[in-house]
Amino acid sequence: MSVSIEEQFGAASLAASRSTTKPKTPPEDEGQLTVDVYQTEDEIVIKSTIAGVTPDDMDIGITPEMITIKGTRKPDELVAPEDYYYQELYWGPFSRSIIVPEDIDVEKASASMKNGILTLRLPKLAKSRIKKVKILS
């Protein structure tokens, strides 16, 4: 025996599911980037989707232990809030700090962007350049 959706949930429920009322969500102060972080033999690689952001609207800070990516995603056109059916894209400032699992050579780090993907290449610090300190008693 087959039962239609209208019979299961009622026609009113089906109509409500097509409502264009947008869900109320509190505005975020700052967006957070999603990242992939992986290693090769010689470097740590960080990738993040940063579509719609120009290099001039980003700032990347690098220390031997941490990477911080900051920027602002600006809308390409102004739309009145009441004219949206859905508004799920994040517009505004974003940031992400990532603690790297081992020291990197800050001077040789590089960044590139292709098709909305930011790629940071962070060469691992050569083990021979790490100074060992003897503990005196």
Report yes or no on 54 lying in a domain. Answer: yes
Overall pTM > 0.85: no
Report yes or no on 8 lying in a domain. Answer: no
Task: Please report the pLDDT score of residue 126 as a whole number.
Answer: 76
Task: Please report the pLDDT score of residue 110 as a whole number.
Answer: 96
* Residues sharing a CB contact under 8 Å with residue 118, sequence separation 6 or more, in sequence order: 46, 47, 48, 49, 50, 58, 69, 111, 112
Report yes or no on 17 lying in a domain. Answer: no
Residue range(s) defining the domain that contains residue 97: 22-125
Report yes or no on 106 lying in a domain. Answer: yes
Report yes or no on 77 lying in a domain. Answer: yes
Of 4-8, 13-17, 33-37, 50-54, the one with minimum mean pLDDT is 13-17
Report yes or no on 115 lying in a domain. Answer: yes
Look up the CATH number of the domain holding residue 31. Answer: 2.60.40.790
pLDDT in tens, 61-99: 999 889 999 999 998 899 998 999 998 888 899 999 999
Task: Using alpha carbons, select from 120, 95, 94 the residue that is nearest to residue 38.
Answer: 120
Domains of the chain: total: 1
Evaluate if residue 8 carries a pLDDT over 90. Answer: no
Question: Mean pLDDT in the chain?
Answer: 83
Task: Please report the pLDDT score of residue 9 as a whole number.
Answer: 53
Report yes or no on 133 lying in a domain. Answer: no
* Helix (H/G/I), strand (E/B), else coil: 6: helix
